[in-house]
Structure 1
């Protein structure tokens, strides 16, 4: 842990007072030790640590002291708080006031991340002083439309969001506006600032923004659409031809306000093999396939269907990600897990043993299953995952009925 404490002291004694620092994790032992302290798994050879989070974890460890006191005990000398910041405080007051004013216009002035974002903008934002007012006002307008303290229930495309601030390309990767907005979003969600395109995409989507309207898709079969418009007829024609539909955000924008009648039952599956098998067997029960973790398009479709009053039920893999998706869909959209009880899991284990099917080991941290707490307990005890494709014959039999 020596490297962690040395880096933490360096940060606390720095005139810039950065809110985060990067820590190298040279070996598995270091990864485990740091992960146990921070309460999250450490993957790879480095991580970014938030100073306030480290202080909270230390205080919650039963020691009765904070980070600065721990460092004094470990190193035998107090943390030297620099006074150099005081000479620049008056210089920082004006831009911070501009940030506060811009956020206040959108009821974000009291957001818990506002002060830290303002400090970051002043110290590291690299925004020219003569552009600061315009940038923070545009950023505040964007932030007001993001899901910063909740899970998103709808998604907008990044280009549409940017266009509403005056420039359709203003939020493209690499722009100043994109950089400062994502920093605020990272602070709001208490995650490290994104360092690559994959992390930027994930953070945008976490805030309810799709990078574009066409790359995210959701696979569907036999949707019982009620509209008589061209869009609905085109999807129904694909079903009549025995073909599935890959719907994008643009498709959903073009769709009619109502998709299905209230009370319509649709099954949501995880594995595309389930949908393919239903299609080939000419099973007309409507299916929405998430192909693993839900895309923004998939979540948007499910929200639209739920708003129509459809009855949505989910079946996925009996592994930790699978039951995690089930729980998230249940909480966010009211989708009920289907054939995913402890009894269903036990039956799947027995059938696999009877048919001599080798089941993979469960990997990852356990996930609670509040719709049936016994399921998580049984999965943890057995240590085996049951993939949805293994259950295909039984699922098809029920769907056919």
Structure 2
């Protein structure tokens, strides 16, 4: 007689009362059954049968007793859940799930957990792509995509979101205020002085974003990393960061007001340092026109042309000299806080659009002749410009990037200087005659 034909000792009569039924379910020889059933039920998927084994003879006998078999099952038997459910209910009045949970532990739902994690990951990347900082500066969409490609930090969506939240908080505070990196980190990140130390995950993440913003390769050396932080206004000094201004008449006895008035009356530009801007003293803007308008340009040559044409009557004009440093951003914010309305113009090329998006995001400026229609009009006048380079979306006009890609040519600010000067002349004509308190 083979083991499969061996009769089960004790027959197949079920236990006569609940206590003996519970004892049968708790037999040590049935532990492999309950562990396997627990694992399958915790999968979160439908279960109709479970495969056991290899079982030794005592375990096969215990399984035969449980199921009421008249012979030993195979060493690797397949047990239907319906048959097991029938036997368990008869012995204990409970379900297989209840018994498995009591003997092994709470049942899981691995399929549900995987779906939850997938939804959590998808929600994380959707949140990042739609974040205000990323939408305001579309070039950061490339950085967001690289973050997604890199995957979760430590496999945790929660940890990744926390790190990205801190990175976005840092990016929103840039350019810095000429603070050392630890001081900047402490101010922005709730006292965490070393959060942006060289080599930390957060520092690496922010520097990758800055590289995308400035369209440069990610820094590889400590020197390159320091240079990128400096470009972003962190660890910059108060004297090296400057901004050029013309036509700025401010009321008040503060240093900026007095220096700017003197230079404006002489028909000259003034170079203000970050130290000047951070300690402006008393300054006010006029009540009319409401609000006073300050035009902002990217290139110093436009400011020079304006001063040459208008002299002491030049309307207020600020030049960022390419990517605005901390002095430029702080001055523009100061003027907005005093009631000015900013109008920004820059180059029609890939970097110019990124600079414009940056200025608009950081200062609440509005675009000035920076639409797709303005670009097309300029291209018609001069269609032989250089290639615009990498083009990113312009948040203020979705058609602008399409138009630049279609024509494939850049239009530098100097080529539309005459149009800009006519706008400034119209501004000058609309104002009243100069008075001591006029901007």
What is the alpha-carbon distance in structure 1 between the residues aligned to residue 164 and residue 374 of structure 2?
A: 44
1:57 aligns with 2:158: no
In structure 2, the partner of 1:286 is 316
Shift of 1:226: 1.6
Describe how 1:115-154 pairs up with structure 2 within 5 A: 148-152=169-173
For residue 339 of structure 2, give the secondary structure of its aligned residue in structure 1: coil
Q: 1:300 to 1:210 in 2, by over 3 A?
A: farther
What is the alpha-carbon distance in structure 1 between the residues aligned to residue 298 and residue 408 of structure 2?
A: 21
Describe how 1:211-250 pairs up with structure 2 within 5 A: 211-250=236-275
In structure 2, the partner of 1:360 is 386
In structure 1, the partner of 2:19 is none
Q: 1:249 to 1:336 in 2, by over 3 A?
A: same
1:183 aligns with 2:199: yes
What is the alpha-carbon distance in structure 2 between the residues aligned to residue 370 and residue 162 of structure 1?
A: 32
What is the alpha-carbon distance in structure 1 between the residues aligned to residue 142 and residue 254 of structure 2?
A: 50
What is the alpha-carbon distance in structure 2 between the residues aligned to residue 160 and residue 57 of structure 1?
A: 28
Shift of 1:235: 2.0
**TM-score normalised by the chain length of structure 2:** 0.51
For residue 378 of structure 2, give the secondary structure of its aligned residue in structure 1: helix
Q: 1:383 to 1:254 in 2, by over 3 A?
A: same
Q: 1:58 to 1:291 in 2, by over 3 A?
A: closer
Shift of 1:194: 6.1
In structure 2, the partner of 1:158 is 179
In structure 2, the partner of 1:97 is none
Q: Give yes or no for contact 2:182–2:196 (8 Å, CA) kept in 1.
A: no
What is the alpha-carbon distance in structure 2 between the residues aligned to residue 344 and residue 150 of structure 1?
A: 30
What is the alpha-carbon distance in structure 2 between the residues aligned to residue 149 and residue 231 of structure 1?
A: 29
What is the alpha-carbon distance in structure 2 between the residues aligned to residue 211 and residue 336 of structure 1?
A: 27
In structure 1, the partner of 2:122 is none
**TM-score normalised by the chain length of structure 1:** 0.56
1:267 aligns with 2:298: no
Larger Rg: 2
Shift of 1:228: 2.6
In structure 2, the partner of 1:277 is 305
In structure 2, the partner of 1:88 is none
For residue 318 of structure 2, give the secondary structure of its aligned residue in structure 1: strand
For residue 288 of structure 1, give the secondary structure of its aligned residue in structure 2: strand
RCO (CA 8 Å, sep 6+): is it higher in 1 or 2?
A: 2
Gaps of at least 5 residues in structure 2 are: 1-140, 187-192, 209-217, 427-439
**RMSD of aligned residue pairs (Cα, Å):** 3.8
What is the alpha-carbon distance in structure 1 between the residues aligned to residue 199 and residue 286 of structure 2?
A: 42
1:341 aligns with 2:376: no
Describe how 1:1-400 pairs up with structure 2 within 5 A: 56-57=148-149, 111-112=162-163, 148-152=169-173, 155-158=176-179, 181-184=197-200, 185-187=202-204, 189=206, 191=208, 195-203=221-229, 206=232, 209-256=234-281, 258-261=283-286, 263-282=291-310, 283-353=313-383, 358-363=384-389, 365-400=390-425
Gaps of at least 5 residues in structure 1 are: 1-38, 42-52, 61-67, 69-107, 115-143, 166-176
